[in-house]
A and B are shown apart, each in its own frame.
Chain A
Amino acid sequence: MKNLIIVLLTALLLPLSPTLSVACSGIRYHFFWTEPKANTDGSLITNLTGTNLYYSLNGGTAKSNFYKASKPTGGGAKSAYITINMNCETKVNRVEAWAKAINTDSIESSKGNVVVKPVPALGSNAAGGGL
């Protein structure tokens, strides 16, 4: 009886179990674009503040990163790296991205061209990815 009590009391001193999760590592993508130099009405841009680069995985909710303008008049050649985490449960992931210029009035350009990059299935020659 005494030993039973000791065992039970000792069990109460054990730590809680850790939480284990598994995630796919991200893949780093390199984006390139050119800032606009004009507005849609033909006037030259004088108040460009930067570019919002949007990206989504498998058509899900898009996220965005902001990149400061080269200069208020735009026209700069820009590039950026974004690491996008893949979905381990999906054989082939698909990354979509587009860019929007934004000015100091917080007015964004319309959506430009959309780039699509299919990601090979895990276990194949996925650069930098996989578990």
Chain B
Amino acid sequence: MKKVILGLVLGLILISSTAFAFPLSTAKLSWTLPTATVDGQPLNADTAITAIKVSCGTTSGIYTVTKSVGLVVEYLASDMPLTVGTWYCVVKASNKYGESAPSNSKQFILEGSVPAAITDLTIQ
């Protein structure tokens, strides 16, 4: 009986349906935890999720930054850490029987914050 968890659904919060560029300082990856195993059985104490792993990369399908983030449903992009640029990310859930297939891949752009202008320059 396959007790590995179903894959997750990865989404990005705080975003409109058309925009996919986000400020690096506030962008958050979020996901919906699965509630069943691959064979369709609801998760229980034996098959409960034990870990969530987020993987990201600047090329689709090639993930160079991976982090175990605990049993949470969201994580700051800057804490991965991700930097300014275009990223592709997937999420996997694990239980004691193994790791799920990766979630859907999400592509997004992280934009850096712009420092405020210096407006009090003086010269002597």
Contacts and interface: CB of A to CB of B under 8 A. Distances in A.
A105 B117 contact: no
A123 interface: no
Interface residues of A, number: 38
Contacts of A113: 118-121
B32 interface: no
B111 to A, nearest CB: 9
Interface in A14-59: 29-41, 43, 45-46, 48, 51
Nearest to B116: A36
A32 B122 contact: yes
A108 B112 CA distance: 10
Interface string B35-66: 00000000000000000000000000000000
Contacts, number: 101
Contact of B25 (A30, A43, A112): A43
A102 B115 CA distance: 7
A43 B23 CA distance: 10
Contacts of A115: 121-123
Given A103-B112, A107-B113, A35 B123 contact: no
A36 B117 contact: yes
B115 A107 contact: yes
Contacts of B121: 31-33, 97-99, 112-115
Contact of B112 (A32, A36, A98, A107): A107
B123 A40 contact: no
Contacts of B71: none
A41 B27 CA distance: 13
Interface of B: 23-26, 83-84, 112-124
What 3 pairs between A and B have smallest CB-CB spacing? A105-B112, A39-B113, A101-B115
